[in-house]
Amino acid sequence: MSTAFETNGAFSWTELLTNDAEGARKFYGELLGWHFEDMPSSHGTYTVISVGGQKIGGIMNTPPDAKGMPSTWGSYITVDDVDARATSAKKLGGAIVVPPADIPGVGRFCVIKDPQGGTISLITYRMSDSV
């Protein structure tokens, strides 16, 4: 049986970018009973969210290059080849918001905008034991 991390087209991760990661941890931990594990990232601390022992998402402070952006949840969809899917999205009338880039120990991702203006992250996992 394949997991969402292996299934092309499956929603596989959700992530909160916020100006107050610690406040978000407190709120969602109390509200939903989530468990958290901090790990270092290129933007400081990345908090992995777990439910029932399963890692489902993350919380991080808004990166400096997105300063002023309101707190927002985003989703990742697993794809077989991020670079090819980014090219296809553009050909289909979408736009590349964040070009394909590597996430060390996780895989390769990009952020696209569909022709209707919705944004979503695409990811091809090359997992280590970090997620």
Q: Which CATH number is correct for 79-131, 2.102.10.10, 2.40.50.140, 2.60.40.10, 3.10.180.10?
A: 3.10.180.10
pTM of the predicted structure, to 2 decimals: 0.87
Asked if the domains at 1-73 and 79-131 fall in one CATH topology, the answer is yes
In DSSP terms, 129 is beta-bridged to: none
- Distances, alpha carbon 123 to alpha carbons 14, 23, 67, 115, in Å: 12, 27, 24, 20
What CATH number belongs to 1-73? Answer: 3.10.180.10
Report the distance separating Cα 102 and Cα 104, nearest Å.
6
The tens digit of pLDDT for each residue in 85-114 reads 999 999 999 999 999 999 988 999 999 999
Question: Given a cut of 70, is residue 128 above it in pLDDT?
Answer: no
pLDDT for 1: 56
If you average pLDDT over every residue of the chain, what do you get?
Answer: 92
Between 44 and 34, the higher pLDDT residue: 34
pLDDT band at 129 (very low <50, low <70, confident <90, very high): very low
Cβ atoms of residues 75 and 112 within 8 Å:
no
Instruction: Give residue limits of the domains in the chain.
Output: 1-73, 79-131
For residue 68, give the 3-state DSSP assignment: coil
Question: Given a cut of 50, is residue 55 above it in pLDDT?
Answer: yes
Cβ atoms of residues 27 and 18 within 8 Å:
no
